[in-house]
């Protein structure tokens, strides 16, 4: 049977007065539910510069977790996660339309990862990321939905220019501003001893992927690794909220 353990950590950083990141985990209540529904983890980052970012991120992860737990068992995770993120987008958008929220603009990024048998499905909007760490190497499983990422994809700027760009955090899509949003989805096969790291841009922004691989490959519990990742991110940068949700795969069950 698929067996995983997870841990999480967050820090507001050295600049931001409060933390706009949010996390959630769905834990199956039985081996049968692990096979029919699976595990689900999500990290959201309330968009900086927008009002009530912490409300938007909390609403997004709450909606996704509730929908995952209520979905019919056995559904394709590749179809379910984009649908749940679209529902989260509508929930954040509707929250911003409430009378007491008028005049405020709510938005958030989100990255979700659902695991079942020997597969992981990753769905995301914005620039929160998911890495797969295996054999000491970290592979990025998501693509940032940012202006510089789009320019880089088109070959209009170099990787070095993208790293230095003052527009590197300008999002091209997020949850909340519009009623519809395009969700990007990927899938990967899992092996025992794989580690998945879901994180916000305040975590990876001052780190190299080699740093994430090195810290996540330690022989430590998931929560200790999450704390180490966040601590390192704040030490080397600290300009934004930093959040890490670490999932360690102990065993898998072939489909």
**Is 167 a residue whose pLDDT tops 60?**
no
> HSE-up of 82 (CA within 13 Å, CB side)?
11
Under the banding of pLDDT at 50, 70 and 90, the label for residue 148 is confident
Residue 202's pLDDT band (cuts 50, 70, 90): very high
Predicted model pTM: 0.93
Per-residue pLDDT band at 140 (split at 50, 70, 90): very high
- Residue 51's pLDDT band (cuts 50, 70, 90): low
Checking if the pLDDT of 172 tops 60, the result is yes
Q: Is 37 helix (H, G, I), strand (E, B) or coil?
A: coil
- CATH fold of 3-251: Phosphatase 2c; domain 1 (3.60.40)
Average pLDDT of the chain to the nearest whole number:
92
Contact 246, 212 (CB under 8 A): no
pLDDT at 110 over 60: yes
Between residues 229 and 106, the one the model is more confident about: 229
Q: Is 234 helix (H, G, I), strand (E, B) or coil?
A: helix
Per-residue pLDDT, 145: 95
User: Does the pLDDT at position 161 exceed 60?
Assistant: no
Chain centroid to CA 179: how far?
21
> Rounded distance, CA 156 to CA 89, Å?
30
For residue 32, count other CB atoms closer than 10 A to its CB.
11
DSSP-assigned letters across all residues of 138-182: EEE-S---BHHHHHHHTTSS-HHHHHH-TTTT-BS--BSSSS--P
Q: How many helices (H) and strands (E) are present in the chain, helices listed first?
A: 8, 10
Token pair recorded at residue 56: 């938007």
Indicate the domain borders of the chain: 3-251
Contact (CB, 8 A) for 157 and 214: no
| Largest CA-CA distance found in the chain, in angstroms, rounded | 52
Please identify which residue in the block is written with the tokens 């929560």: 223
Provide the pLDDT for residue 154.
Answer: 61
The pLDDT value recorded for residue 3 is 95
pLDDT digits (tens, 9 = 90+) for 204-214: 998 999 999 99
Question: How confident is the model at residue 123, as a pLDDT?
Answer: 98
Does pLDDT of 166 surpass 60? no
Q: Torsion-angle region of residue 103: left (phi > 0), alpha (psi -120 to 50) or beta?
A: left
Average pLDDT of the residues in 25-42: 96
CA distance 71 to 76: 11
């Amino acid at each position: 049977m698929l067996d995983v353990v997870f841990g999480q950590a967050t820090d507001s950083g050295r600049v931001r007065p409060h933390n706009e990141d949010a996390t959630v985990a769905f834990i199956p209540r039985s081996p049968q539910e692990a096979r029919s529904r699976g595990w689900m983890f999500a990290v959201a980052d309330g968009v900086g510069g927008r009002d009530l970012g912490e409300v938007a991120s909390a609403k997004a992860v709450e909606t996704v977790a509730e929908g995952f737990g209520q979905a019919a068992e056995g559904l394709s995770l590749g179809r379910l996660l984009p649908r749940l993120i679209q529902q989260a987008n509508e929930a954040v958008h509707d929250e911003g339309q409430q009378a007491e929220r008028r005049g405020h603009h709510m938005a958030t990024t989100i990255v979700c990862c659902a695991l079942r048998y020997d597969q992981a499905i990753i769905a995301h909007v914005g620039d929160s990321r998911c890495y797969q760490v295996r054999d000491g190497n970290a592979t990025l499983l998501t693509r940032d939905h940012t202006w510089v990422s789009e320019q880089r994809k088109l070959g209009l700027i170099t990787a070095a220019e993208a790293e230095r760009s003052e527009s590197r955090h300008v999002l091209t899509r997020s949850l909340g501003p519009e009623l519809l949003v395009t969700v990007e989805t990927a899938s990967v096969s899992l092996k025992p001893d794989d580690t998945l790291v879901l994180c916000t841009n305040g975590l990876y922004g001052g780190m190299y992927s080699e740093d994430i691989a090195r810290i996540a490959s330690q022989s430590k519990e998931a929560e200790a690794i999450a704390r180490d990742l966040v601590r390192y991110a704040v030490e080397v940068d600290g300009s934004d909220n930093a959040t890490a949700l670490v999932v360690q795969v102990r065993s898998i069950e072939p489909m």
